[in-house]
Amino acid sequence: MSVEMNAVRAAESWEPKIIAFCCNWCAYAGADLAGLNRIQYAPSVRIIRVPCSGRVNPQFILKAFQKGADAVMVAG
Amino acid sequence: MKISEQIRDYAKKMLEEGEVKQFIGFEKGRLPFHSTPVFITEPGQVERLIWDDYCITNLSKYLVNFSHEDGKTALVVKGCDSRGIVRLIQDHQLQREKLVLIGIPCQGMKDSLRFFSKGDDSLLSPGGKCQSCTHPNPVLYDILIGEEVKSVNMDRFKKTEEIENLNIDERYLYWSREFARCIRCYACRNVCPACSCLSCYLDQHRVDWHGKDPAENASYLLTRAIHVAGRCIECGECARVCPTGVSVMELNKKLIKDINELFGEQDAGVDFSQTHPLCQYHTDDPDDFQ
Amino acid sequence: MLIKRLLEFAGIEPQRFLVKWVSSSEGQKFADTISELAAAIKALGPNRKYRDAL
Amino acid sequence: MKTISSMLMTQFIEALAKEMPVIAPVKNEETVSFQPWSAGMEIEWQKNSLIPPKNLFLPQVEVLYKYQVSGVNGEIEEIDADDSPRVLLGIRNCDLHSILLLDKIFLTDDYIDSAYQSRRKNTVIIVLQCSQPLSTCFCTSLGVDPRGGEGADLVLIELDQGVRGSDKMMYDPGRDFGIEARTPKGEEILKKHEDFLSDLQKKPAPLENCNLHLDERGVKEKLPKMFDHSIWADLSMRCLGCGVCTYLCPTCYCFDLQGKNVGEEGFKYRCWDSCMFSDYTMMAGGHNPRPTKRERFRNRFLHKLSYYRERYGELLCTGCGRCLAKCPVHLDITYVAEKIKEAKADVREG
Amino acid sequence: MVAASQHPNITLMTYSEVEEVKGYVGNFNVKIRQKAKSVDHELCTGCGVCWEKCPNMVINEYDQGLSARKSIYIRFPQAVPSKPVIDRQHCRWFNRDGRCGVCSEVCQAKAIDYLQQDQVVDEEFGAIIVATGFDLFGNENSFAEYGYGTLPDVISGLHFERLSSASGPTGGKIIRPSDGKEPKSVVFIQCAGSRDDAKGKSYCSRVCCMYTAKHAHQVLEKIDDAQAYVFYMDIRTPGKAYEEFYRRSVNDGAVYLRGRVSRIFSKNNSMIVRGEDTLISKQVEIEADLVVLATAMVPGFDANIVAGLVGIGSDKDGFFEEAHPKLRPVETHTAGVYLAGTCQGPRDIPDSVAQAGSAAVKVCGLFSADERELDPITALVDEAICSGCGICLSLCPYKAIDFISVSASMAGVSFQREVAAVNEALCQGCGTCVAACRSGSINLKGFTNEQLLAEVEAVCQ
Amino acid sequence: MSVKGKSARLLDPLVPQKGKIIKIVDETPDIKTFYITTDEGKPFSPAPGQLAMLSLFNVGEAMFSVTSQGEEHLEFSIKKTGVLTDALHEVDEGQVIGIRGPYGNGFPLEMLKGKDILFIAGGIGLAPVRSLINFCVHSRQDYGDLQLVYGSRTPEDLCFKEDLFSRWPQGGINVDVTVDRGDEGWKGHVGFVPAYLEELSPVPVGKIVVVCGPPIMIKLVMQSLDKMQYDHEQIITTLEKRMKCGIGKCGRCNMGSVYICLDGPVFTMSQLDCMPAEL
Q: Could you list the mean pLDDT of each consecutive 10-residue stretch along chain B, which spans 290 residues?
A: 86 91 90 87 90 89 86 91 90 88 88 61 62 86 86 78 86 88 90 88 77 82 87 88 88 87 77 70 55
Q: Quick check: B259 contacting C, CB < 8 Å?
A: yes
Which of D47, D260, D277 lies closest to B213 in CB terms? D260
**CATH hierarchy code of domain F14-103:** 2.40.30.10
Which of A26, A45, A65 lies closest to C34 in CB terms? A45
**d(C-alpha B39, C-alpha B24), whole Å:** 5
Count of alpha carbons within 13 Å of D343, Cβ hemisphere only?
Answer: 27
Cα of C27 to nearest chain D Cα, Å: 31
Residues D158 and D225 in one domain: no
**d(C-alpha E184, C-alpha B52), whole Å:** 99
Cα of B28 to nearest chain D Cα, Å: 10
pLDDT of the residue at F5: 36
pLDDT of the residue at F101: 80
**d(C-alpha D41, C-alpha B99), whole Å:** 53
Which of C27, C46, C50 lies closest to A30 in CB terms? C27
Chain A residues close to B214, C-beta within 8 Å: none
User: Would you say domain F109-230 falls under CATH 3.40.50.80?
Assistant: yes
**d(C-alpha A52, C-alpha E331), whole Å:** 19
Cα of C18 to nearest chain B Cα, Å: 7
pLDDT of the residue at E149: 85
pLDDT of the residue at F3: 36
Question: What is the tens place of the pLDDT at every residue in E191-220?
Answer: 999 998 888 888 999 999 999 999 999 999
Using a threshold of 3 CB pairs under 8 A, tell whether chains E and B touch.
yes
D141 in a structural domain: yes
Using a threshold of 3 CB pairs under 8 A, tell whether chains A and F touch.
no
Alpha-carbon radius of gyration of chain C: 13
Cα of D292 to nearest chain E Cα, Å: 7
Whether residue A66 and residue C35 make contact (CB cut-off 8 A), yes or no, is no
pLDDT surpasses 80 at C3: no
Count of structural domains within chain D: 2
pLDDT, mean of residues F43-64: 88
pLDDT of the residue at E25: 84
Domain range for D308 is: 219-252+275-342
Residues D233 and D129 in one domain: no
CB E396 within 8 A of CB E418: no
D213 in a structural domain: no
Question: What is the tens place of the pLDDT at every residue in D279-295?
Answer: 888 887 777 888 888 88
Cα of F63 to nearest chain B Cα, Å: 16
Residues D13 and D138 in one domain: yes
pLDDT of the residue at D163: 53
Residues D16 and D153 in one domain: yes
**d(C-alpha E169, C-alpha E406), whole Å:** 67
Residue of B nearest to D238 (CA): B37
Whether residue B219 and residue A58 make contact (CB cut-off 8 A), yes or no, is no
Question: What is the tens place of the pLDDT at every residue in E355-384?
Answer: 999 999 999 999 998 887 777 888 889 888
Alpha helices in chain D (DSSP H): 6-19, 93-106, 114-121, 184-192, 219-222, 231-236, 244-248, 293-302, 308-312, 322-326, 333-342
pLDDT of the residue at D166: 46
Of B267, B286, B247, residue with least CA distance to B83: B267
Question: What is the tens place of the pLDDT at every residue in D294-322?
Answer: 889 998 998 988 888 888 888 899 988 88
Which of C22, C46, C50 lies closest to A5 in CB terms? C46
Residue of D nearest to E456 (CA): D263
pLDDT surpasses 50 at D167: no
D214 three-state secondary structure: coil
Residues D21 and D131 in one domain: yes
**With bands split at pLDDT 50, 70 and 90, how would you rate the model's confidence at D169?**
very low
Q: Quick check: A16 contacting E, CB < 8 Å?
A: no
Domains of chain E are: 2-118 (no CATH), 134-298 (3.50.50.60), 300-368 (no CATH), 379-460 (3.30.70.20)
Cα of D296 to nearest chain E Cα, Å: 12
DSSP characters for E68-100? Answer: EEESEE-SSTT-SS---EE-TTT-HHHHTTT--
pLDDT surpasses 70 at E338: yes
**Cβ burial B91-127 (10 Å sphere, 16+ → b, else e):** bbbbeeebbbbbbbbbebbbbbbebbebeeeeebebb
Of E281, E283, E233, E288, residue with least CA distance to E262: E283
pLDDT of the residue at F183: 83
Chain C residues close to D262, C-beta within 8 Å: 52, 54
Which of B171, B218, B286 lies closest to C9 in CB terms? B171
pLDDT, mean of residues E224-248: 93
**With bands split at pLDDT 50, 70 and 90, how would you rate the model's confidence at C16?**
confident
| Percent of chain E with pLDDT strictly greater than 90 | 44
**With bands split at pLDDT 50, 70 and 90, how would you rate the model's confidence at E445?**
confident
- In chain A, which among 24-63 make CB contacts under 8 A with chain B? 58-59, 62-63
Which of C15, C17, C29 lies closest to A30 in CB terms? C29
**d(C-alpha E264, C-alpha E274), whole Å:** 6
**With bands split at pLDDT 50, 70 and 90, how would you rate the model's confidence at F242?**
confident
pLDDT of the residue at E350: 93
Exposed, middle or buried: residue D166 (CB in 10 Å: 0-12, 13-18, 19+)? exposed
pLDDT surpasses 50 at F10: no
pLDDT surpasses 60 at D188: yes
Residue of C nearest to B285 (CA): C1
Using a threshold of 3 CB pairs under 8 A, tell whether chains F and C touch.
no
D133 in a structural domain: yes
pLDDT of the residue at D280: 84
Which chains sit next to B, with 3 or more Cβ pairs under 8 A?
Answer: A, C, D, E, F
**With bands split at pLDDT 50, 70 and 90, how would you rate the model's confidence at D165?**
very low
Exposed, middle or buried: residue E33 (CB in 10 Å: 0-12, 13-18, 19+)? middle
- Please name the residues in contact with B103: beta carbons below 8 A apart, sequence gap of 6 or more: B76, B77, B82, B137, B138, B140, B141, B142, B143, B144, B145
Residue of A nearest to C39 (CA): A42
Residue of B nearest to F58 (CA): B207
pLDDT of the residue at B259: 85
Which of E410, E411, E457 lies closest to D261 in CB terms? E457
pLDDT of the residue at E215: 94
D210 in a structural domain: no
**d(C-alpha E22, C-alpha E20), whole Å:** 7
| Percent of chain E with pLDDT strictly greater than 70 | 99
Cα of B7 to nearest chain F Cα, Å: 39
pLDDT, mean of residues E341-353: 93
Cα of D350 to nearest chain E Cα, Å: 12
Looking at D47-56, D261-270, E108-117, E439-448, which range is the least confident one? Answer: D261-270
Which of C11, C50, C52 lies closest to B171 in CB terms? C11
Whether residue B223 and residue A63 make contact (CB cut-off 8 A), yes or no, is no
Average pLDDT of chain D is: 84
How many A/B residue pairs have CB atoms within 8 Å?
Answer: 14
Amino acid type, E379: A
What are the residue ranges in chain A where pLDDT is below 50?
1-3
pLDDT surpasses 90 at E432: no
Average pLDDT of chain E is: 89
Whether residue D136 and residue B208 make contact (CB cut-off 8 A), yes or no, is no
| Percent of chain F with pLDDT strictly greater than 90 | 2
Q: What is the pTM (predicted TM-score) of this model?
A: 0.78
**With bands split at pLDDT 50, 70 and 90, how would you rate the model's confidence at F1?**
very low
Alpha helices in chain F (DSSP H): 83-90, 109-112, 126-138, 161-162, 168-170, 193-200, 215-227, 260-263, 269-274
Whether residue D285 and residue F82 make contact (CB cut-off 8 A), yes or no, is yes
Q: Which of B4-8, C28-32, E312-316 has the highest mean pLDDT?
A: B4-8
**d(C-alpha B79, C-alpha B234), whole Å:** 10
Exposed, middle or buried: residue F185 (CB in 10 Å: 0-12, 13-18, 19+)? exposed
- Indicate the pairing of strand E128-130 with strand E337-339: parallel
- In chain C, which among 28-47 make CB contacts under 8 A with chain A? 28-35, 37-42, 44-47
**With bands split at pLDDT 50, 70 and 90, how would you rate the model's confidence at E450?**
confident
pLDDT of the residue at E194: 92
Residues D107 and D163 in one domain: yes
Count of alpha carbons within 13 Å of E61, Cβ hemisphere only?
Answer: 5
Residue of D nearest to C54 (CA): D262
pLDDT of the residue at B124: 56
D202 in a structural domain: no
- Please name the residues in contact with F75: beta carbons below 8 A apart, sequence gap of 6 or more: F33, F34, F35, F36, F66, F67, F68, F69
